[in-house]
Chains A and B, each alone.
Chain A
Amino acid sequence: MTNTARDNILAKLNAAAPSKSFDASDFNVLKEKQLSAEERIRKYKEVTTAVNTQVFDLDRADWTQKLEEILVQKGVRHMLYGPSSHLGRNLEENWQNKDAALVPYNKAMEECKDILFDIDAAITSTLGAVAETGSVILWPTKEEPRLLSLTPPIHIAVVEADKFYTTFYEAIETNQWAANMPTNALLISGPSKTADIEQELCYGVHGPKELIVLIIHD
């Protein structure tokens, strides 16, 4: 049935395909948007804090200690992380806190659903951030799986200060995403939210209730 359906649909479309071909699109309206490195970070913060993201500027030298303080303030007891990622190894080496334990996400989802749906917080690295829309870019990997940024009520995302782009278009073009798309790529712009009940904004309907972004400066 489906093959016939395919053939029928394509035959109909082919018979009707317009003779007029359309020229390449003019992307200048996106290309012209260019901000300096400082402006990108400033703009990113402006847009993302407006949707309740908490942003911290941290020095590379002591960022894990600062993170530990943030977690204590928030009463986080357990933080999930990807142990074999670069970020994960960095955390393990520097982690001192006994109040907030590091919990590795190192098994298939099916074997640890109870932890995934019950943990206080999780941390991930990012590919960078987009200033115009206030988004962090995630390409989940074997080392840092998808649910780290979804099921826990707090998601902490780490962005390197030199990885800010002005627009999403620029991020795609500069890094030639099209040649190399991962299983799942994401833009995350704030904590999960809804306005489905009489337009009233409520955070954390299905995903994280809090998004904390750590910008790491050298």
Chain B
Amino acid sequence: MGIVNGKNFKGRVSEALKDQELRGNFRKAMDGLMTKRAAQFEDVDEWTRLRALGESIKKRALSKLPELLVQLEENLTKNGIKVHWAENVDQANEIILGILQSHDVKTVVKGKSMVSEEMELNHFLEPHGIKALEADLGEYIVQMAEEMPSHIIMPAIHMNKGQIAKLFEDKLPGTPYTEDAAKLTEIARKELRREFAEAGAGLSGVNFAVAETGTLCLVENEGNGRMVTTVPPVHIAVTGIEKVVENLSDVPALLSLLTRSATGQPITTYFNMISSPRKKGEKDGPEEVHLVLLDNGRSDVYRDAETRDTLQCIRCGACMNHCPVYTRVGGHAYGGVYPGPIGKILTPQLEGLDNYPEHPSASTLCNACVEICPVKIPIAKMLVRLRDENAGNCPHGEHPVKGRGSKSSAVEHASWKGWKAMNANPTTYKVATKAMSKMGNLMPSSLPMLSEWTSVRSKPKFASQTLHDLVKKMDVKDD
């Protein structure tokens, strides 16, 4: 694993673009997902209103975030769930290790949790003699391949059946090569059932944490989430602090937006609401339930009214499914836990622009993600803001994004200064445009700032006459 790294984005993109198999896998998957989602939101009026409701629920929750977190803690505690707070991933990992060690746990079975990926929890636990086993089929596959998920909803989307068949054959002793998806699924079912029954603890993420009732909600199709939260004696849930919602009645709208946007399903197979550990007389369920609330930079994102919108995200993944860049380069190129458009804005804010300098620029600003986002996060606007900060333009003085100015370049600054000066004065503008129409085409494509552009595009051709001259010649009246 260990590809959590924002540097060399361009190198990884070049590699991904050359990999025809990878591009084929993504193209096929994303096309299917877009079609299925579109069918779910055929009724434009319903989509518009439901989306406005989703946005308002998240905005309302964020506007009261600190008080809702306290209320959530109070109600969870009342219900018998233990609440832990972690400012960073080190603290969160230590908390989980402490819980596991106090129960002498050797194996923890995991449902899907992007926050635990953020924490690199599996790696952290390994040297302590604790095996963390991914139980979501996609996560199980990428764990076996020693990779990271390439999509937040479908972690193994970058692999095709042949690649998975080979992996099962190599890694699971006695497994014959088969490309039959049903057979592969059956093999995983058998392998994991034993683990569910024997594991000392289960770990899950959280989709919505309801402050009003102290309820942890989990969305899933496979049943692994139910297994890890029901069979082992201890259940640990981890979540970012932004996942809290105010009321239980807020949940149905968000659930509907989430599942329909993500995979085009009206709902997932299981929607699981956990409000307490096993009560006296109950025959199953964990004896202990813990919730770890992780900040990891989110409170910094929260400080600024503009960047705060990032925290509205319900992790549906629709923005990546519709992103022309993600579809072509795949999730691993981003080198972060969260790929695609949401990753481009979230990752640099959590991890620093200096660690992920290319992220804000890895977009055409085509707006596809903005149009599709079920909670109306203005991703493109945020990308522009991050680009601005990255270039060292810092009008956002009070609440700067971590690591800003990482792409600040004297040449670029000087160029824009020159550009501004040229455009601000009619004489210089005239001289410059005239010069370009005469000399522009003589510029070699190998010029420093032009070469990158022309490496994948044709060189722009300058017209022999400026627009001004043409308009004058045509005698267009200015009225």
Q: Which residues of A contact B (CB under 8 A)?
A: 1-3, 5-6, 8-10, 12-18, 20-30, 47, 51, 105-109, 113, 117, 132-135, 141-142, 145-147, 150, 167-169, 172-173, 177-178, 181-200, 202, 204-208
Q: Which residues of A contact B299 (CB under 8 A)?
A: 9, 12-13, 16
A-B contact pairs, 23 of them (CB 8 A): A1-B94, A2-B91, A5-B295, A13-B65, A13-B241, A14-B66, A16-B302, A18-B308, A25-B53, A27-B249, A27-B253, A117-B193, A133-B266, A146-B284, A169-B252, A183-B277, A184-B230, A189-B267, A198-B160, A199-B154, A205-B185, A205-B224, A208-B223
Nearest chain-A residue to B84 (Cβ)?
A2
Chain B residues engaging chain A, CB cutoff 8 angstroms: 25, 28-29, 32, 46, 49-50, 52-53, 56-57, 59-60, 63-66, 69-70, 84-87, 91, 94-95, 135-138, 141, 154-157, 159-161, 164, 181-182, 184-185, 188-189, 192-193, 196-197, 212-215, 221-224, 226-227, 230-231, 241, 247-253, 255-256, 263, 265-279, 281-285, 293, 295, 299-300, 302-303, 305, 308
- Distance in Å: Cβ of A39 to nearest Cβ of chain B: 16
The 5 closest A-B pairs by CB, nearest first: A207-B223, A196-B138, A133-B267, A109-B284, A206-B223
Q: Are A2 and B155 in contact (CB under 8 A)?
A: no
Tell me which of B49, B70, B181, B189 contacts A204 (CB under 8 A). Answer: B189
- B276 and A199 contacting across the interface, CB-CB below 8 Å: no
Min CB gap A197→B, angstroms: 4
- B65, B197, B293, B295: the one contacting A17 at CB < 8 Å is B65
Residues on B with beta carbons closer than 8 Å to the beta carbon of A199: 28-29, 32, 154, 157
B91 touches A109 (CB 8 A): no
Closest to A148 in B: B284
Known interface pairs A194-B137, A196-B156, A197-B185; A186-B87 also in contact (CB < 8 Å): no
* Total cross-chain contacts (CB, 8 A): 261
If the complex has contacts A9-B299, A181-B215, are A193 and B222 also in contact, measured as CB distance less than 8 A?
Answer: yes
Given the contacts A20-B63, A205-B222, A206-B223, A188 and B269 also touching, CB distance less than 8 Å? yes
* A202-B284 contact in complex given A6-B85, A181-B215, C-beta closer than 8 Å: no
In the complex, the chain B residue whose C-beta lies closest to that of A20 is: B63
Q: What are the residues of chain B within 8 A of A14 when measuring CB–CB?
A: 66
Chain A neighbourhood of B185, CB < 8 A: 194, 197, 202, 204-205
Question: Is A191 within 8 A of B269, CB to CB?
Answer: yes
Chain B residue nearest to A112 in the complex (CB): B283
A18, A132, A134: which has the most chain B beta carbons within 10 Å? A18
State how many angstroms separate the Cβ of B296 from the closest Cβ of chain A: 10
Task: Assess the B66–A17 pair: CB atoms within 8 A.
Answer: yes
Q: For residue B202, give the distance in angstroms from its CB to the closest CB of chain A.
A: 12
Contact (Cβ within 8 A) B63 A194: no
- Report A91 CB to chain B, min CB distance, Å: 18
Q: A5-B87, A20-B63 are in contact. Are A198 and B267 (CB under 8 A)?
A: no
In the bound complex, CA of A207 to CA of B221 (Å) = 9
A187 to B267, CA, bound (A): 9
Q: Are A184 and B161 in contact (CB under 8 A)?
A: no
B46 surroundings in chain A (CB, below 8 A): 29
